Structure 1
């Protein structure tokens, strides 16, 4: 039987992963969109 706290932790980690991916993708697009220096 799964522990509820464990399940909540897994869900929370999954949400953090999705959030981190979105933020990283936005930062990457901004960096790539900027003209290269030098």
Structure 2
């Protein structure tokens, strides 16, 4: 990670689109251009 804030930099930058809502208030997100994000 070569971001100037290093470890404290955000892991993701949006905006995102909610593709699916799962049980337990989990959300599957995609980027605005349709690219799927990896599951955590």
Structure 2 length as normaliser, TM-score?
0.21
Q: Which structure has more helix as a fraction of its residues?
A: 1
Higher relative contact order by CA 8 Å / sep ≥ 6: 1 or 2? 2
Q: Which structure has more strand as a fraction of its residues?
A: 2
